[in-house]
Structure 1
Amino acid sequence: MSEEAADRVDLAHMPELVIVSGMSGAGRTEAMHSFEDLGYFCVDNLPASLIANLLELTGMPGQPDERRRLAVVCDARNRDFFANLMNELKKLKAQGIDYRILFLDAADEKLVARYKSSRRRHPLCTDGASIAQGIERERNLLFELRESAHHVVDTTDMLPPQLRATIRDLFAPGEERTGLSVTVYSFGFKHGAPLDADLVMDVRFLPNPYYDPKLRPLTGLDKPVRDFVLYRPETEEFEQRWRGLLDCVMPGYVAEGKQQLAIAVGCTGGQHRSVALAESTADYLKAQGYRVSIAHRDLALAEGGAL
């Protein structure tokens, strides 16, 4: 996989428009977060009559015009506009616009429990009806749309990470690893421990190139330092175990739906060992198909002083 391909989710196999609907309390908000992570421009509670207008807009944030992808929530909160949804979808189909309908559902008792725990009012209970009555009204209103949906997902027993994984499987299959944005950076402990890292690896136990006068003014980006750090028996053993740890934890982060991961590799000054090993770590993760960026937090502070 090229670095350019790894920097983004492949849009070629993703629909231009996704209509997200379903029962209130079934996970629409979580679904929209998932589509945002996939690079969709998301609009919540949009009147059906405005979908075509939205598709005609240009200059959407983060999306070249030729790759516009929209995820729109259309639900029963605005009943007057929602009634026109099926007619609007027929118009879009006649225009050759690719769209898919994702319908989120859950068992009535689970929906009641979720509303009670959230202490929010059901959108169809404005006249004093009970939550159960509101759910019944909503099911009747959404019946035709549910029958027309391309995907019906039952979230009754789903946790949020499972819903995110399901949406990625349906709308961006094969891109699970590139959905996780990984930053690998080096740092020097003498400049302060990292505050934002999910994983921190201390490599100060490895031999220090600083004590070689020829290597002292160089950095871990220079080949002589990289060779000194990486091609030693102790480093080779460390990297084997370090990569084994990454092989163990990285799939877990993906499965949990984590979108950003920061891995910090530290030595004393952030100039030699940590830089070389951060680069090596980033290269390894890229080769495994992850979307990785590399940074060196304290390299500009290197002065060749006592490390």
Structure 2
Amino acid sequence: MAKFEDLRSWEKALGAVVELGGKASRKDVEDWILTRDPGYNTNNLADLYMLSVNSPARTGYTQNEKPRRTDQGNRYDRLFKVGKGAFEVYDPVQHGIWEIYPDASSGSRFGVSVRRVSNPVEQALADAEEVAEQGVTFDPEDIVDARKRVTADIVRRRGQPAFRKALMGAYDSACAITGCNLPAVLEAAHIYPYKGVHTNVVSNGILLRADIHTLFDLRLIAIESEKMVIRVSPELIDTDYATLDGSLVRLPKQDSDRVSAEALDWHWSQCGWGAESGSGSVVE
């Protein structure tokens, strides 16, 4: 196994973000690396921008001189820039698909720019409409993709069987936000993202309808823990979901089953629109 100081500079930067919980500021990354490699050249922190799929600055690096999409498995498409000088691990489900594309007017020395080519918000709304209609488009000739979809849904969305069963019991088999009591569309949602069995505890979960779960994971719906009030992103203001804003979360009867306020506060802190809009309300 290679020693840390022998890793390439971009590998150190990426490793720092991952080890710091998947999101970190440039200063946090610098401090983390220097404690492990005091001789590290901090000018190499520019690699954070090189690795960030949405950073215009990445087009100045030779690693990114040729056009490509972020769903093509390139090893340099690993981070996503958020706010001022913060970076998190790139997740195509949450952040969408981005591409480096030819652009003679870009000013880049390689004549390329970056842009998003798929919008996770639009996809989430499309998925929500599909659930609401109680129907799924199915191509009988595409059995492989159908199986992959079912497997992904079971592993990623339903959660571990025991975790879902516990939440079904805690919330009396009804969505905590909508009250929907159709078991087939109810899912065990993690507040902190799933990182092993230790995160499969009732206090780190909430029972949600499938479409609400998707929007919750995309940080378009959140919960203010102080009053257990639902907040909806301004991006959903022209949708039926806007009516949920300001309503109360349905709580388990047992206090021991209630979701952790700290976990909800962490999730709320990840929703940039909350800070931008004050209370987070979309309703006038």
Structure-2-length-normalised TM-score: 0.21
Which structure is richer in relative contact order (CA contacts within 8 A, separation 6 or more)? 1
Whichever of the two has the greater Rg, that structure is 1
Structure-1-length-normalised TM-score: 0.20
